[in-house]
């Protein structure tokens, strides 16, 4: 069988383009024992994949030159050599920027039980890695208490918008930072944030002044998705004992050196804590998070935005949207039609 897939052909110095990524077509190898052949229906595009295009290993090994970027996929099992999975089942798994992926099921591979009230794509957004990131990042690392103030960067994005909504469900005041007027409006009207801050064109001092205005009681939890100026400004507004959750540093993903953090002293001065967070450390607790997320969803407490583009050819152009802010929710690529007639029950 032929498989079209993107490969990393050169390491980008800035934003990756089709100078660094090439679409190739080759023949799939036969499966070995315990492997699955997946037909990718939707693939998730995630900011951190950009860091893996650099040479240095991170929380996952760097993508080798000639290798296919890996990511979470929603897929149909086409062939199974694994006792726990059958052809025709729908799963989420760790596949790639490709039409087909061969995987050895591990903690990243889960069978999807489709229900009529939940769109299949939610298993890549709210009920996928995005939802788990918001849930465990906020609740385990942030440890919110009622009436505390939670500040979120990239707040209108996939993870950020859920963090704000979950914080609200825990009785917190929520303030989001985003890159356009439209996104700021949406934070309040759609995602229920108490206030919103447009960060563009503000320096650290200007941004800190806006945060002070919107968080008159100071910031108890800062959920950081961006880094750079946004983190520096947030540090100037934290309360004693504040918790800073370092979930992502997207402002630095396209540079060789991360933008420095000038105001770390505030962490000492406020006896605050900073915790790096990785969702993969929490996958063994997936069911616990999913039970809450499903309940909040069915009660109408959670809203999700998804930005779906179609076709494998579009992947690099769509990926770039994460870095100029033109994605409008959880970014994913629709690769093939959903097999509605053969969903798991
Ligand atoms: N630690 C983990 O386990 C884990 C897991 C999943 C995701 N993450 C992290 O969570 C963050 C959000 O990921 P996501 O998938 O939900 O993406 P997203 O927020 O839906 O999209 C990325 C957003 O980041 C903002 N952004 C991009 N470049 C920026 C810059 N230079 N300065 C300020 N804002 C910038 C843009 O929003 P604006 O228009 O508002 O600028 C853009 O829409 C990322 O940092 C990602 O790496 C971490």
Protein residue with least CA distance to atom 18, ligand 1? 157
> What is the reported pLDDT for 178?
98
277 close to ligand 1 (CB < 6 Angstrom):
yes
The β-bridge partners of 219 are: 238
CB 80 within 8 A of CB 9: no
How are beta strands 21-27 and 70-80 bridged, if at all? unpaired
List pLDDT tens digits, range 84-128.
999 999 999 999 999 999 999 988 899 998 788 899 999 999 999
> What is the reported pLDDT for 345?
44
List pLDDT tens digits, range 153-182.
999 999 999 999 999 999 999 999 999 999
> What is the reported pLDDT for 343?
54
Q: How far is the CA of 101 from the centre of ligand 1 (A)?
A: 26
> What is the reported pLDDT for 340?
56
227 close to ligand 1 (CB < 6 Angstrom):
no
Q: How far is the CA of 45 from the centre of ligand 1 (A)?
A: 11
> What is the reported pLDDT for 5?
98
Same fold, 2-125+304-342 and 130-280: no
The helix or strand, by DSSP H or E, that contains position 240, with its residue range, turns out to be strand 238-246
CA-to-CA separations, 342 to 1, 77, 90, 101, 282, in angstroms, rounded: 22, 11, 9, 20, 31
> What is the reported pLDDT for 103?
97
Residues of the chain scoring pLDDT < 50: 341-342, 345
In the structure encoding, which two tokens stand for residue 301, read together? 């407490």
- Structurally, what CATH architecture does the domain formed by 130-280 represent? 3-Layer(aba) Sandwich (3.40)
* Furthest-apart CA atoms within the chain: distance in Å: 61
Q: How far is the CA of 257 from the centre of ligand 1 (A)?
A: 18
154 close to ligand 1 (CB < 6 Angstrom):
yes
16 close to ligand 1 (CB < 6 Angstrom):
no
Q: How far is the CA of 170 from the centre of ligand 1 (A)?
A: 23
Q: List b or e across 147-161, with b for residues whose CB sees 16 or more CB atoms inside 10 angstroms.
A: ebbbbbbbbbbbbbb
- Residue boundaries of the structural domains of the chain: 2-125+304-342, 130-280
Q: How far is the CA of 38 from the centre of ligand 1 (A)?
A: 28
How are beta strands 110-111 and 100-103 bridged, if at all? unpaired
Closest atom of ligand 1 to 247 CA is 1
Q: What is the best residue among 14, 43, 225 to mutate for testing ligand 1's pocket, by most ligand atoms within 8 Å of CB? A: 225
Closest atom of ligand 1 to 155 CA is 40
Cα distance between residue 206 and residue 51, in whole Å: 29
pLDDT, mean over the chain: 95
- Was domain 2-125+304-342 assigned CATH 3.90.180.10? yes
> What is the reported pLDDT for 113?
82
> What is the reported pLDDT for 259?
72
> What is the reported pLDDT for 62?
96
- Give the orientation angle of helix 158-169 with respect to helix 286-298, to 10 degrees: 80
């Amino acid at each position: 069988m032929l498989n079209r897939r993107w490969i990393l052909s050169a390491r980008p110095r800035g934003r990756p383009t089709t100078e660094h990524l090439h679409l190739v077509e080759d023949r799939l190898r036969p499966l070995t024992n315990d492997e699955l052949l997946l037909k990718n229906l939707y693939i998730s595009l995630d900011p951190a994949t950009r860091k893996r295009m650099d040479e240095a290993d991170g929380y996952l090994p760097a993508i080798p030159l000639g290798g296919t970027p890996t990511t979470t996929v929603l897929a149909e099992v086409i062939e199974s050599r694994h006792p726990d999975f059958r052809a025709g089942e729908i799963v989420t798994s760790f596949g790639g920027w490709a039409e087909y992926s061969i995987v050895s099921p591990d903690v990243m591979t889960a069978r999807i039980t489709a229900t009529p009230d939940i769109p299949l794509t939610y298993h890549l957004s709210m009920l996928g890695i995005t939802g788990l990131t918001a849930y465990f990042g906020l609740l385990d690392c942030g440890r919110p208490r009622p009436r505390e103030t939670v500040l979120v960067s990239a707040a209108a994005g996939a993870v950020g918008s859920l963090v704000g909504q979950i914080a609200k469900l825990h009785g917190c005041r929520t303030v989001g930072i985003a890159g356009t007027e439209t996104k700021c409006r949406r934070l309040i009207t759609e995602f229920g944030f108490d206030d919103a801050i447009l960060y563009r064109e503000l320096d650290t001092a200007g941004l800190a002044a806006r945060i002070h205005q919107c968080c008159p009681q100071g910031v108890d939890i800062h959920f950081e998705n961006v880094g750079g100026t946004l983190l520096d400004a947030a540090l100037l507004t934290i309360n004693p004992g504040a918790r800073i959750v370092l979930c992502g540093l997207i402002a630095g993903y396209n540079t060789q050196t991360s933008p420095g953090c000038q105001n770390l002293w505030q962490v000492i001065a406020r006896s605050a804590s900073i915790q790096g967070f990785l969702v993969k450390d929490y996958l063994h607790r997936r069911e616990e998070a999913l039970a809450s997320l499903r309940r909040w969803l069915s009660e109408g407490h959670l809203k999700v935005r998804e930005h779906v583009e179609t076709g494998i050819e579009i992947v690099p152009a769509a990926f770039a949207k994460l870095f100029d802010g033109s994605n409008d929710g959880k970014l994913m690529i629709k690769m093939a039609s959903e097999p509605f007639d053969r969903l798991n029950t």
